Structure 1
Amino acid sequence: MLRLTLSTIRTRKIGFAGSVASVLVAVALISACFMMIQSGLSATPEVDRFGATAAVVRADTDLHVGSGDDEEAIPLEQPPRLSAARLAELRVVPGVAAVVADTPFYAQAVDRHGASLAGPGDGPSWGHGWPVARLTPFVLAAGRGPEADDEVVLDADLARRASVRPGDEVRVVTVAGTQRFRVSGVARLATGRAGLPTQSSLFFTERAAARLSGATGADGADRADRADRADRADRADRADRADRAKGAKGADGAADFGGVLARPGTSGAELADRLRQTLRDPRLRVLTGDERARAGTPETAEKLEYSTQLFGPMAGIGGFLAVFVIGGTFGLSILQRRREIALLRAIGTTPGQIRRMIAGEAVVVALVAALPGYALGVPLAHLLRAVLVGQGLAPPEFVVVTGPLPLVAGGGAGLLLTLLSALTAVRQAARVRPAEALQEAAGPRRVMSVPRLLFALVMLAGGAAVLALSQHLGGEVGVAFLALVVILFIGAAGLLSPVLTRVLERPAGAVVGAVTRTTGWLAHANSAAAVRRVSSAAAAIMISVAMAGYALLVTAVLNDTSAAQGRERVVADRVLVPRNGPGLPPGVADAARRLPGAETVSAVRATSFVSYVLGTPDVVPAQLVDPATIGKVLDLRVLEGSFAAVKEAGTVAVSRTHAGEHDWHVGSRFHGWLADGSPVDLRVGAVFDRGLGFADVVFPRTEARTEARTEARTEARAGAQAGAQAGARTGLDSAVLVRARPGHADELDRALAAFEREQPAVRALDREEYGGAAETSIERNITGTYLVLAVLVSFTAVSLVNTLVMGTAARTREFALLRAVGASRRQIVRMIGWETGIVLAIGVVVGTVIACVALAGANGALSGSMMLTGLPMPLYPLVLAGVAVMGLASGLLAAGMALLSRPMDALGGARE
């Protein structure tokens, strides 16, 4: 059997080369995805902000819901802090030289021209107490440390950009507002570097840092801990309870991090083990090595996580498409060999032997393609990395890591996909009865098998069911399900491609035959007689068009709907937004209320909320608003209830889509968790419509913290206001909306122009500018989405070229016969061009229908109407034109190669 397999490969070089090309590209794609995943997992920040520590202790940053195998870990926007008692426990652990509490807070310097300075690469700018400098370590390059509360030390990079030196004054924006500080010193890293690569550092006295950070004692995590105090009895928890009881009265001392410095002679690993044994609390983490480095630069860790998670689905979708691509290639190869297989069946070869022969070919193809595919995956991974880093989606620390794992993963996946595709393609041919073999070889009687038809119908029904679910869910969640709809419909269309080809070839062929009576008629006749060959090429085009169409159409609808809702939502005349910063200090809203011409001023603060999405806890966007004024600056189009009810404790407003998923109405009660992990029981007071790019849950804003309650349920309900406020720990507003008094708009504009000069962190926009800049979570990932789909579309495009080349090059005998009876090369090339046009028409029509289904689904999920609006012109027609040019070029190139030989030579010796 092995000899027969190798002999078959030698005599069918084009088919073998086409199969190798398909598998090679699939291996390259999957290998590159695994390289990117491995690279993201192994990457670490370039500089460890806690590099001088033996370990860093922090609270668990995840909210854990459920238990055992059903436990879900949800990242918290505002993780709980370490209490002062916990920090005190760390200081008495043997081997600990010091424990430095660190709570980074927003602090941004302003240069001499009044421009606020972000961190390197538009990263964050953080303030710290001066003792925190030891953790990196930072050392003074000039001047001295801060001694008075109006003094500050800047890192050397920030001092250079701000053009200041020791003794100069610099303006600094914090949650407390804009203040002037005297630069007492300039610090650099002990390694000689001017500053951290992704963030700026400002150091104040400890007392000034506590004031500027807005810290106010116990936070939401403390409240959650008090709720289960009856279940904790060990020494650490008793100390923690005592400290929390004190914290409930407003004590300070909590910290985000506890940087632990070791005594000389104590190893970091040994000290970390002692810390874990001392704490014995699953809610606390002792970080060392890479975990410690990532904790110090969360902006880098977030980008690494995003860039890593991007390629898991990409590998899965690529594998799914590879089944159809490789299966189509093998199916075409087997179709071209049906006479050979028929003869083998006629001389007594069993179906099992036929399958083993094809399986042997598949193994050889996979092994031949493995190493070249991996080699091609390396530059593909570097290209992906360059795009991600260039677009700011991945940090420079993201470096491509090659090794045996991607090779094994890519090669193994290629082998499995090739075997699956080959055995699926040969199943019908191997089961032909010997008496029917030659008849079957002369012309297949069935377009497709019954099992294939049933499987296609199952996928079609599954796609329709998921589409209906997306309409029920609505919003961004519903839009996310459209990717699965497209994949299922692609699978169904690929399986049904012979039937679709037979149906669509007739009108397409009739048009071609009407255009040209000779070559067009021949093209129509050839296409009608070779349904399987045409369907293989049309399926590749269909996949390319459907994937590209989904990427363009759904993204365009999401962007347009988000921008439209943003413009309709804003009724304020002007909106104040941060300039080069994460938010606006609360004093901005207070100052805006005093502006001449201002009638209503309302601030909104972005936060998050953990709610159930599709039965699983997940993070949804939320906003803190003033219910008394929000309706005068934002038109959220309230469908039920009113924002007047949201003033009540424990009452919130929810978006139409989030309410629709749970069948909530005014008065409905639900459970969730605030951004700091505090559990809350809430009541729906209003349902609003225009939530895209804004929020799914809107909390009432309060200016004062609620005193702690003893009972957990009482505290949770009251915490709907105070806890939500604590959830946005930075204390910064995301925007301040200003509405002018009637007839005083010009006066307000003049006042805002002067206001911007006084407030370097503020930028004033009109409603159109602000509404058009509304951003959803998917919009922020547009580049990543385009990148993934571009690679997948390229993958299917290669399969398109490969299929067309195989299908055309294998017709050497047919072309030779036409030339022998008098047809010219030009006429044959025209015929091939018209045949390719028919193939393109079938693939484009089916692919466009699938893309339009996704477009209608996106419109329905976002607006409730499945009208086909939002077609991106002229981008989508350009994509179709590109597919057409690529297909025609591939077909004509293969035809030209097949016509190089003389007719008599081709008729005498051609086997392909």
Structure 2
Amino acid sequence: MSAAWAMVRHRFASFAGTFVAVVLGVAVLAGSASLYLSSQPQAPARYDAAPILIQPAMAGTNDYGEEERPAWPASEATGLANRLATLPGVAAAVPDPVFYVQRLSGGKATGDPEAARADGHAWSSARLGGYRLTAGRAPESRDEVALSGADPGTRIEVLTASGPETWTVSGTVDGPGFYLADSEALRRAPGVPVIGLTVSGDEARVADAARALIGPAGTVRTGAERDLLEANHVTRIRWIGAQLLIALVTLSAFATVFVVSSTCALSAAQRRRELGLLRAVGATPGQVRRQMYAETTLIALLGGLVGAPLGAAAAPLLAGPMVDTGLEPAGFTVTWQPAAVFGAALLGVLVALCGVAVAARRASRVPPLDALREAAVDPRAMTRSRWVLGVLGAVAGAGLLAAMPSLPVSAQSSAGLGAAMLLITAATLLSPVLIVPLVRVVAWPVRHTATGQLVREGTLTGVRRVAATAAPVLATVGITVLLTGTIATIEEAAGIDAAAEFSTGSLLVPDGTPGLSAAAVAAQPGESRLETRVLITHQDGITGFEAAGVAGSGSGAVLRDDTATELGARAGSTLTVRWADGTTSETRVRAVDPDAQATVVFPAELVRAHDPQALTAMVLLDGEPTAAPGARAMPVGDFVREEIGEEGQLVDLFLWALIGLTAGYTGIAVGNTLLMATAARRSEFRALRLAGAGTGQVLRVVSAESLLAVAVGAVLGGTVAGISLLGVRASVESELDHSIALVIPWGAGLAVTAGCVAVAVVAAAVPVLRRR
């Protein structure tokens, strides 16, 4: 280890790339882990004063893997709460009905639309959050409300599932939410999803007594289990943020291995004579390997000591932007996570050791006679493994592209992306072979000039050096063009496909709300559907369905053919339906229709009776719309573009985060490669100066070589990505049966290439200028 420390201390420049890669990798890992560990499910704040929460019994899971827990009917929940209130140690047992409400300001809905679905409550449930009146009194009549931020007697405009209403503030509360009289809240809410207990005795004993009383009719949550009551839309937001963090950590780990591996491989090649000398004086292959492992471990430890605190310090700065972009819920904060910091530093060492493994094995095979080697020409640019893997990758990628027309339509897009990744990998592995003809072609016009000859011969002599510079550029440009081009092409296709689904020219859609109210829909000329969720019992169990209520659809239910198959039902069958309000009824299947508007269609009045909070997603207009709060009319084309744009913003965020990280590692790889390679050519540059070349001429030579290497990588990456995009477009056209334009992201490709050029020129020039 002492020898390794001496080598690191005296030749730190040779390890700069490894150090920077580990610092960046550990920082990304520590920051991402801190964000992830800080973003854990939390029970809603309105239950802070209720250590025991009770939910209805589970009836399965939905398409997201979330629990299906049908609400209790209001009468059942009230009776159960009364029995729970008699248990020893229970201070109060309070049902918590929730319903949709948003405040209107100037006719516009305010606040978070999704959070507004559960902003309405019964006054008695305010005690579950420990909320108290600071002025006025509790609400008593139907149009009275208690809330924060308004003085008693104030008249406020709100939007509910029924439509716009005017309420009088009876009292001011020190917590969020709209609180109505208990009877009014129970009337508006579709059942009761939670009963909260405040306690005056031992929580554990009260919880056990509650479990014994409820039995299989519900689930008692205490301690950390209470966090499972987090709202589903908040959980999904956390899930989306977690996917980005996981992607960043995974890419960072792979990129760190790549940079460390390439840096150590180049370092081993430049130290070939030194390693040969070690072998000549008696060092065994095992000792050579241990020397390289020890050097890398020291560098990784130093990098971890810098990167881990850096990532932990940067994590809180990202909390705001993640909330703003919808990757974390409102109020998210980052807390100190020691496991993230120390775990990142440790993982950085392991990742670095993975990166050095191949280089250490090759270094241990250097023969002692290489200590006498003087030539700077690469002995062999291609190893046998690179030939085999490169050719196999090229054949597999080309074969997959050729076979795409015969694949199922649903698999063609994935096959195109897979073929692209195979071709990019193959081009990276075979780059030393491809570089020679490309260099000869590019250098042909200047072959008779002194600088042109030096650049051409220096590049052809150091093919391994050029390949080490071109490979990360190739991969980055290829991946950037491929991903941005694929997403742009798919968005182009999505717009065509989505617009074709509508049979009308204009729509009425929500404006800052989660859906359209009953009053807004009733005033419009056009077709609409209420959205609700039902649980249907069948011979294999209970299944939840997103159902619709359609006016004028007749009596009974209409099923899509796939839904009928899943339920084992047909026209004339009887369904046992559990509604949103917790009640159960028998409904006859009127028809099975493959073109039904939803998986299950009921009469609109039946849905409204069982789900007073049901909202309408949109109205297909067939006349002039009527203005209504929380609603706006727009052409179908504008709506489709807006929807695709909103989804595209999140996709673009993921995309540019990954591309930015990849480009950062590429800059490290390119800069470090050229710094090391240029510094190792001191004798070559000394010979040029003795032959009469000035510093400016030497700079022009090394800059031209750097530009040539970056250009080769960019051309190869762009070519492979362009070929792959043709396959992706063909698969999308086949799926849609419609021609679409091929979108080539020139701007993204040129931006990444320009960044690589800047890094390459600076990295190549610095060693020359330092030794003027």
Residue 48 of structure 2: which of 32, 46, 51 is its match?
51
**What residue number does 1:737 align with?**
620
Give SS of 2:24's match: helix
Q: Structure 1: how far apart are the matches of 2:728 and 2:578?
A: 30
Please say if residues 130 and 203 of structure 1, whose CA atoms lie closer than 8 Å, have aligned partners that are also in contact: yes
Cα distance change, pair 465–573 in 1 and its aligned pair in 2 (3 A): same
Deviation at 1:556, TM superposition (A): 2.2
Please say if residues 829 and 896 of structure 1, whose CA atoms lie closer than 8 Å, have aligned partners that are also in contact: no
Q: Structure 2: how far apart are the matches of 1:323 and 1:316?
A: 11
Please say if residues 515 and 615 of structure 2, whose CA atoms lie closer than 8 Å, have aligned partners that are also in contact: yes
Residue 480 of structure 2: which of 532, 541, 548 is its match?
548
Q: Which amino acid aligns with 2:603?
A: E
**What residue number does 1:173 align with?**
159
**What residue number does 1:140 align with?**
133
1:763-774 equivalences under 5 Å are 763-774=632-643
Please say if residues 26 and 311 of structure 2, whose CA atoms lie closer than 8 Å, have aligned partners that are also in contact: yes
Q: Deviations over 1:812-870 (max 9, x none)?
A: 22212211211121111111121111211222123324544664565456443799944
Q: Structure 2: how far apart are the matches of 1:441 and 1:350?
A: 25
Please say if residues 152 and 202 of structure 1, whose CA atoms lie closer than 8 Å, have aligned partners that are also in contact: no
Q: Deviations over 1:302-351 (max 9, x none)?
A: 43343234312321222122221211111111121122223333444332
Please say if residues 62 and 75 of structure 1, whose CA atoms lie closer than 8 Å, have aligned partners that are also in contact: no
Cα distance change, pair 628–445 in 1 and its aligned pair in 2 (3 A): farther
1:503 aligns with 2:434: yes
Q: Structure 1: how far apart are the matches of 2:723 and 2:546?
A: 31
Identity of aligned residues (%): 25
**What residue number does 1:114 align with?**
107
Deviation at 1:14, TM superposition (A): 1.7
Q: Deviations over 1:180-217 (max 9, x none)?
A: 43x1413322xxxxx43xxxx2222333223333x3xx
**What residue number does 1:409 align with?**
343
Cα distance change, pair 208–403 in 1 and its aligned pair in 2 (3 A): closer
Please say if residues 176 and 212 of structure 1, whose CA atoms lie closer than 8 Å, have aligned partners that are also in contact: no
Please say if residues 118 and 124 of structure 1, whose CA atoms lie closer than 8 Å, have aligned partners that are also in contact: no
**What residue number does 2:353 align with?**
419
Q: Structure 2: how far apart are the matches of 1:422 and 1:314?
A: 22
1:802 aligns with 2:660: no
1:538 aligns with 2:470: yes
Please say if residues 804 and 887 of structure 1, whose CA atoms lie closer than 8 Å, have aligned partners that are also in contact: no
1:223-372 equivalences under 5 Å are 254-262=191-199, 264=200, 266-276=201-211, 278-279=213-214, 281=216, 284-289=218-223, 292=226, 295=229, 299-372=233-306
**What residue number does 1:186 align with?**
171
Q: Structure 2: how far apart are the matches of 1:448 and 1:501?
A: 7
Deviation at 1:735, TM superposition (A): 0.7
Q: Structure 2: how far apart are the matches of 1:275 and 1:9?
A: 65
Q: Which amino acid aligns with 2:709?
A: V
Cα distance change, pair 653–825 in 1 and its aligned pair in 2 (3 A): farther
Please say if residues 566 and 772 of structure 1, whose CA atoms lie closer than 8 Å, have aligned partners that are also in contact: no
Deviation at 1:900, TM superposition (A): 3.0
Q: Which amino acid aligns with 2:561?
A: T
Q: Structure 1: how far apart are the matches of 2:434 and 2:4?
A: 36
Cα distance change, pair 390–588 in 1 and its aligned pair in 2 (3 A): closer
5+ residue gaps, structure 1, are 66-71, 160-164, 190-194, 216-253, 594-599, 611-618, 630-643, 668-672, 689-696, 707-721, 741-747, 903-912
Deviation at 1:52, TM superposition (A): 1.9
Deviation at 1:380, TM superposition (A): 3.9
Give SS of 2:770's match: coil
Q: Structure 1: how far apart are the matches of 2:261 and 2:116?
A: 47
**What residue number does 2:599 align with?**
699
Deviation at 1:578, TM superposition (A): 1.3
Q: Structure 1: how far apart are the matches of 2:59 and 2:698?
A: 66
Please say if residues 272 and 366 of structure 2, whose CA atoms lie closer than 8 Å, have aligned partners that are also in contact: no
1:879 aligns with 2:751: yes
Give SS of 1:408's match: helix
1:73-88 equivalences under 5 Å are 74-75=65-66, 79-82=69-72, 84=76, 87=81
Q: Which amino acid aligns with 2:101?
A: A
Q: Structure 2: how far apart are the matches of 1:131 and 1:32?
A: 42
1:674-685 equivalences under 5 Å are none
1:770-781 equivalences under 5 Å are 770-775=639-644, 779=648, 781=650
- Comparing 477-486 with 568-577, which one deviates more in the overlay? 477-486
Q: Structure 2: how far apart are the matches of 1:465 and 1:107?
A: 57
Q: Which amino acid aligns with 1:205?
A: A
Cα distance change, pair 524–469 in 1 and its aligned pair in 2 (3 A): same
**What residue number does 2:574 align with?**
none
Please say if residues 110 and 172 of structure 1, whose CA atoms lie closer than 8 Å, have aligned partners that are also in contact: yes
**What residue number does 1:714 align with?**
none
Residue 131 of structure 1: which of 115, 124, 142 is its match?
124
Q: Structure 2: how far apart are the matches of 1:458 and 1:273?
A: 63
Residue 843 of structure 1: which of 698, 704, 713 is its match?
713
In the alignment of these two chains, the number of paired residues is 741
Deviation at 1:569, TM superposition (A): 2.9
- Comparing 538-547 with 874-883, which one deviates more in the overlay? 874-883
Please say if residues 130 and 206 of structure 1, whose CA atoms lie closer than 8 Å, have aligned partners that are also in contact: yes
Q: Structure 2: how far apart are the matches of 1:422 and 1:272?
A: 55
1:560-579 equivalences under 5 Å are 560-579=492-511
Give SS of 2:132's match: strand
- Comparing 310-319 with 878-887, which one deviates more in the overlay? 878-887
- Comparing 815-824 with 389-398, which one deviates more in the overlay? 389-398
Q: Which amino acid aligns with 1:761?
A: G
How large is the RMSD of aligned CA atoms in angstroms?
Answer: 4.4
**What residue number does 2:540 align with?**
none
Q: Deviations over 1:732-788 (max 9, x none)?
A: 111111124xxxxxxx2xxx2xx21xx212211122221212349963632344334
Q: Structure 1: how far apart are the matches of 2:121 and 2:396?
A: 54
Q: Structure 2: how far apart are the matches of 1:478 and 1:799?
A: 34
The TM-score, its normalising length taken from structure 2, stands at: 0.83
**What residue number does 2:315 align with?**
381
The TM-score, its normalising length taken from structure 1, stands at: 0.71
Cα distance change, pair 339–284 in 1 and its aligned pair in 2 (3 A): farther
Q: Structure 1: how far apart are the matches of 2:9 and 2:771?
A: 20
**What residue number does 1:601 align with?**
527
Deviation at 1:372, TM superposition (A): 0.8
Q: Structure 1: how far apart are the matches of 2:424 and 2:46?
A: 48
Please say if residues 342 and 440 of structure 1, whose CA atoms lie closer than 8 Å, have aligned partners that are also in contact: no
- Comparing 318-327 with 172-181, which one deviates more in the overlay? 172-181
**What residue number does 1:864 align with?**
734
Q: Structure 1: how far apart are the matches of 2:696 and 2:98?
A: 74
Cα distance change, pair 153–876 in 1 and its aligned pair in 2 (3 A): same
Deviation at 1:355, TM superposition (A): 1.5
Cα distance change, pair 850–511 in 1 and its aligned pair in 2 (3 A): closer
Deviation at 1:533, TM superposition (A): 1.3
Please say if residues 367 and 411 of structure 1, whose CA atoms lie closer than 8 Å, have aligned partners that are also in contact: yes
Q: Which amino acid aligns with 1:268?
A: E
Cα distance change, pair 775–488 in 1 and its aligned pair in 2 (3 A): same
Q: Structure 1: how far apart are the matches of 2:247 and 2:49?
A: 38
Q: Structure 2: how far apart are the matches of 1:15 and 1:106?
A: 63
Cα distance change, pair 315–459 in 1 and its aligned pair in 2 (3 A): farther
Give SS of 1:138's match: coil
Q: Structure 2: how far apart are the matches of 1:512 and 1:62?
A: 71
Q: Structure 2: how far apart are the matches of 1:40 and 1:49?
A: 19
Cα distance change, pair 878–277 in 1 and its aligned pair in 2 (3 A): farther
Q: Which amino acid aligns with 1:649?
A: L
Cα distance change, pair 503–485 in 1 and its aligned pair in 2 (3 A): closer
Cα distance change, pair 767–318 in 1 and its aligned pair in 2 (3 A): same
Give SS of 1:571's match: coil
Please say if residues 551 and 604 of structure 2, whose CA atoms lie closer than 8 Å, have aligned partners that are also in contact: no
Q: Structure 1: how far apart are the matches of 2:146 and 2:728?
A: 49
1:206 aligns with 2:182: yes
